[in-house]
A = this chain, B = another copy of it.
Amino acid sequence: MRFLPRDEKFYDLFEAGVKKVVEGAVQLEEMIRNFTEVPLKARQIKEIEHEGDVITHRTIELLNLTFVTPLDREDIHDLITSLDDVLDYTEACAERLSLFKIDKTTDEAELLVGILVRSVKELEEAVFKLRRLKGADSVIKNCLEIDRLENEGDSVCRAAVAKLFEPENNPLEVIKWKEIYETLENAIDRCEDVANVLEGIVLKNA
């Protein structure tokens, strides 16, 4: 049952989806490290996010038209929509950096986007193991590393927000940066949601 052509199509879509997620995060990292031509770079990330949306949409269409699916319907749906959420927050961060007319980025933003890139690369590895569903242990290892990175992101974001509240800071800048940090943290958190879906899939299909 597992190797029907239609099944392969699902795995193709998962792989295409996670690649877009990685592409978005890598571009955001480049943007934050090299903070020039921000509006142009934000539009490019918006374009990647749009391409991700198309993949999500196609997966849901295929799901609605397929009677016997290679994984539980709910898991397929949750996998593709949680991947989409990671990319949405990645794009939202790029957009805010452009929209809020930020002059220069901060060390904390660089740290956070680095954690995001490491997380999505773990996701990419894990998703590419799904097609043959071998190596459950190895998928779980990726998921544990994503959990660890989420905790790291959490503690970096906390410290970053605490620093914002120094009394001499300009309140408008505080509002802007608090939102940017939280958007980055949300992107990292959503990676953990994807990891939870992946964990469920490999446990059920082990």
Contact = CB atoms under 8 A, between A and B. Distances in A.
A178 B172 CA distance: 11
10 contacts: A64-B200, A99-B158, A99-B161, A101-B162, A101-B165, A165-B175, A165-B176, A169-B172, A171-B171, A171-B174
Interface residues of A, number: 23
Given A61-B203, A100-B165, A171-B175, 16 more contacts: A64-B200, A64-B203, A64-B204, A65-B203, A95-B158, A99-B158, A99-B161, A99-B162, A100-B162, A165-B172, A165-B175, A167-B172, A171-B174, A172-B174, A174-B175, A175-B178
B172 A60 contact: no
Give the dominant DSSP class at A's interface.
Answer: helix
Contacts of A158: 95, 99
A161 B174 CA distance: 15
Contacts of A65: 203
Contact of A200 (B60, B101, B178): B60
Interface in A121-177: 158, 161-162, 165, 167, 169, 171-172, 174-176
A203 B95 CA distance: 33
A165 B101 CA distance: 9
Contacts of A95: 158
Nearest to A196: B60
Contacts of A203: 61, 64-65
A171 B172 contact: yes
A9 B203 CA distance: 19
A169 B132 CA distance: 57
